[in-house]
Amino acid sequence: MNCCISPIQKARLAYEPKLPAALRAGANVKCEEGAKQPAFADTEKIAARFPNTSNMPLLTFAAGCGAKVEKPINVAVILSGGQAPGGHNVIAGLFDGLKSLNPESKLYGFKGGPSGLTDNKYIEITAEYLAAYRNTGGFDMIGSGRTKLETPEQFEKAEANCKALGITAVVIIGGDDSNTNACLLAEYYKAKNAGIIVVGCPKTIDGDLKNAFIETSFGFDTATKVYSELIGNIERDANSAKKYWHFIKLMGRSASHIALECGLRTQANVTLISEEVEAKNQTLDEVVTVIADSVAKRAANGENFGVCLIPEGLIEFIPDFKVLIAELNDILAHGAEVYAAITENDKKAEFILAKLTAKSAAVFASLPMEIKMQLTMDRDPHGNVQVSRIETEKLLTELVKNKLADWKKEGKFVGKFSSQTHFFGYEGRCSMPSNFDADYCYSLGFNASAIISTGKTGYMSSVRNLTAPAEQWIAGAIPLTAMMNMEHRHGEDKPVIKKALVELDGAPFKMLAANRDKWAVETSFVYPGPIQFFGPSEVADITTITLVLEKGK
C-alpha cells in the first residue's frame, strides 16, 4: 500500500467500528434456528436444483460466553463484482471474528475475485497487512473480478486449492450474481460432503440485494451520499449560472434505488424511476415528454436551468426496449463470434437488424449509431447488458432538445435550453465508507465468522434492525437459496439471486411521487454536502432516506 496517506485516511485507520451486542463477546455465538425458509420465488424449481441447501432454517445469534474453539479455522475470502465502499471492513471483521474464535485461525485473501480461487492466487491476510486497510474504501487489498463460478471443473479446482491450505470455509463478498456463485458452490460442496462451508455477504452500491432479512447491501449508503454531494454541487452551480439543464445518469444497473435515494436527498427537478416507466408501459417519447414538460414549465417562470436524474438501467425498462434487449441477448448469446468478427458499424447493425422481429427492428433502426453499438456490446460474464456503457443521458438530452424545438414552433415552449451531461458511478464506488458502512461492513464480516463457527453452509450474513444504534442490530443468517429465482440468462433459464427493484407501493417511491410535481417546477434544491465522519451522531451516523422510510421511522 502507498506509504503516503492523507490526514483523514490516518484518522480513519484509528476508527473503531461498532458491533451488534450479540457479537461483542466474540464470534462463538449462541445460534437459534428459526422457521425453514423456502425460496421466495420459483420454490419448486429451486428446491429441485438445490436439494441439499434448500428449505434451511433462518438463524439468529445471541451473545456467547466468549469461549475459544479448540481448533483453528482456516478461511478463504474473495471480493466479487463491482467495488463498494466498506469491502475492506468486511474482511477486517471476518479476520477479527476468526481470531476471536481461535488466535491461530488463518484468513487467506484470494486475489482478483472468483478466478483467484480457481487459479490459486492468494495472500495470507495478517494483522499487520490488514492494519493499513481498516475503514478504507476500495477493493485494492485483494482486488475483485466478475468471473462466473458455475462449472464442476471450477468447483473442483477451488476445492483442491482450499484443501492445500487447510481451508474449511469460503466467504464470498458480492452482489446478486456473486452470491449466486456462492449458492452454487455451497450446494456442490454439501452434495459431495467436501467439508467446505460457503458463506455470502451482501455487497453492492446498487442497493438491489435486499429483502426482509437483508435490509440493505453495503456500499449503498456511502455511494448515494457521495453522488448526492456531487448532485447538490451541480444544483448549486445550475442555480448560480442559471443557464444549463444537467442530465445526470446514476449507476445502479437495473434497479433505480440509487436514483431514488439521490432524488429524495437533493430534490432534483426530475428523477426518473425505471420501475415506474415499466409499470406505466411508457414509451421513450413519453419519458422524454416528462422531462420536456419540466423544462417548459420552469422556462415559463424564467428558470432556464434544472437537474434531471436518470437511472442507469432506464432503457431496459421501456417496454419496446426490454423486448429489443431480450432479443439482442439471445442473438448475441448464439452469434457473438460472428458479430465480433464484423468490423464496420453499419454492417454490424445490418447483421442485427436481419435477426430482429419487425417491431424490435423498427426500434433499433430509430436509434443513433452510438446507442446501437452500445446496446450490442459484450454482455458481462453473468449475461447482463453493460448499462453503464449505454449513454442514455446523451440520448435523452438529444430527444428533449428535439421535442422542445417542436414545442417552440407550436408556441408551447418559450425559453432556452442548453444542456450538460454527466455519469456518476465510479466516483462513489471506492469512497471511504461512511460511519454506517464502516460499522455495517465490519459487523457483516464478524458475523460471517459466527456463521462459520456454527458449521452451517449456504447462508448469507444478515445484520438487521439497521436504523437502531449498532448495539441493537440483530445478527444472524439467511439461506442463500431463499433468495433465488429462475431467470433467462445467456439464452437459457438459470437459477440466480432475485434482484430487489424499487417497489412502487413502498414508502421511498411514495415520498418522491408526493413531491415531484412541486420539485419539477420550483427550485427546491437541497445541497447535502460531503459525508461527515466526525461530529454529532445526527450528522455523522445517519442512514439513507430509503432505509429510514422502508423501516417506517
Amino acid present at 481: T
DSSP letters for 99-149 = HHH-TT-EEEEETTTHHHHHHT-EEEE-HHHHHTTTT--SSTTT-------
Binding mask 401-430 for ligand FBP (x = CB under 6 A): ------------------------x---x-
Which of the stretches 77-85, 86-94, 264-272, 362-370 binds ligand FBP when contact is defined by CB under 6 A?
77-85
Query: Which residues does residue 461 pair with via DSSP β-bridges, in sequence order?
Result: 477
Q: Is 263 exposed, middle or buried (0-12, 13-18, 19+ CB in 10 A)?
A: buried
Q: How far is the CB of 90 from ligand FBP (least distance, A)?
A: 13
253 binds ligand FBP (CB under 6 A): yes
DSSP letter assigned to residue 77: E
- Tell me the C-alpha to C-alpha distance, in Å, between residue 292 and each of 298, 406, 495: 10, 11, 41
Q: Give me 246's grid cell.
A: 444537467
Q: Is 206 in the site for ligand FBP (CB under 6 A)?
A: yes
> Contacting ligand FBP (CB under 6 A), which of 23, 125, 130, 205?
205
Among 93, 175, 263, 495, binds ligand FBP (CB under 6 A): 175
Query: Which positions ≥6 away from 446 have C-beta within 8 Å?
Result: 19, 23, 27, 93, 94, 96, 97
Cβ-Cβ contacts under 8 Å for 71 (sequence gap 6 or more): 102
* Least distance in angstroms from the C-beta of 222 to ligand FBP: 13
387 binds ligand FBP (CB under 6 A): yes
* Of residues 82 and 137, the one with the C-beta less far from ligand FBP: 82
Residues 11-50 as x/- pattern, contact with ligand FBP by CB under 6 A: ----------------------------------------
Grid coordinates 459487523 are at which residue? 443
Select from 26-34, 50-58, 198-206, 507-515 the region that touches ligand FBP (CB under 6 A): 198-206
Task: Please state, in angstroms and rounded to a whole number, the distance separating the CA atoms of residues 400 and 523.
Answer: 20
Which residues, listed in sequence order, are joined to residue 197 by a DSSP beta bridge? 169
Residue type, 264: L
Q: How far is the CB of 258 from ligand FBP (least distance, A)?
A: 8
Partners of residue 310 on adjacent β-strands? 249
Integer Cα distance of 289 and 465 in angstroms: 41
Task: Measure CA of the first residue to CA of the last residue in the chain; give whole Å.
Answer: 41
Considering the complex, state which of residue 49 and residue 429 has its C-beta at the smaller distance from ligand FBP.
Answer: 429
Residue of 172, 231, 251, 356 interacting with ligand FBP (CB under 6 A): 251
Residue type, position 415, single letter: G
Cβ-based nearer residue to ligand FBP, 387 or 438: 387
Question: Total residues at the site for ligand FBP (CB under 6 A)?
Answer: 15
Task: Give percent helix, percent strand, percent coil of the chain, each to the nearest 5.
Answer: 45, 15, 35
Per CB under 6 A, does 97 bind ligand FBP?
Answer: no
Any catalytic annotation for residue 206? yes
Q: How far is the CB of 239 from ligand FBP (least distance, A)?
A: 28
3-state SS string for 506-519: CHHHHHHHHHHHHH
CB 391: neighbour CB atoms within 10 A? 18
* 145: contact with ligand FBP by CB under 6 A: no
Task: Return the number of the residue (39 or 201) whose C-beta is nearest ligand FBP.
Answer: 201
Q: Which helix (H) or strand (E) holds 265?
A: helix 257-266
Give whichever of 113 and 495 is closer to ligand FBP, judged by the CB atom. 113
Closest approach, Cβ 80 to ligand FBP, in A, equals 7
Q: How far is the CB of 219 from ligand FBP (least distance, A)?
A: 7
Q: Contacting ligand FBP (CB under 6 A), which of 147, 388, 447, 454?
A: 388
Mutual orientation of helices 507-521 and 257-266 as an angle, nearest 10°? 50
Stretch that binds ligand FBP, among 130-138, 204-212, 321-329, 365-373 (CB under 6 A): 204-212
The residue from 96, 176, 177, 206 that is catalytic is: 206
Residue with C-alpha cell 426500434?
Answer: 363
Distances (CA, A) of 91 to 98, 105, 127: 10, 14, 11
Q: Is 252 in the site for ligand FBP (CB under 6 A)?
A: yes
Smallest separation, CB 148 to ligand FBP (Å):
12
Count the Cβ atoms, other than its own, within 10 Å of residue 290: 17
Question: Is residue 276 involved in binding ligand FBP (CB under 6 A)?
Answer: no
Stretch of 44-52, 165-173, 249-257, 355-363 contacting ligand FBP, by CB under 6 A:
249-257
Among 204, 294, 329, 419, contact with ligand FBP (rule: CB under 6 A): 204
Contact pattern for ligand FBP over residues 299 through 318, marking x by CB under 6 A: -------------x------
Map 207-234 to HEC letters.
Answer: CCCCCCCCCCCECHHHHHHHHHHHHHHH
Nearer to ligand FBP, 184 or 292 (CB): 184
Compute the distance between CA of residue 31 and CA of residue 476 in angstroms, rounded to an integer: 8
The single residue among 81, 200, 232, 383 that binds ligand FBP, judged by CB under 6 A, is: 81
Pairing of strands 492-497, 484-489: antiparallel
Residue number, 372 or 499, with CB nearest to ligand FBP = 499
Span interacting with ligand FBP, options 16-24, 237-245, 246-254, 535-543, rule CB under 6 A: 246-254
Of 98 and 251, CB closest to ligand FBP: 251
By C-beta, is 332 or 387 nearer to ligand FBP? 387
CB of 376 to ligand FBP, least distance (A): 17
Report the candidate in 27, 173, 146, 5 with the shortest Cα–Cα distance to residue 88. 173
Q: Would you say 289 or 386 has its CB closer to ligand FBP?
A: 386
CA separation for the pair 191, 51 (Å, rounded): 8
Q: Nearest to residue 122, comparing CAs of 137, 139, 133, 107? A: 107
Q: Which is nearer to ligand FBP, 18 or 499 (CB)?
A: 499
Positions in the binding site for ligand FBP (CB under 6 A): 81-82, 84, 175, 204-206, 251-253, 312, 387-388, 425, 429
Query: Catalytic residues, which ones?
Result: 206
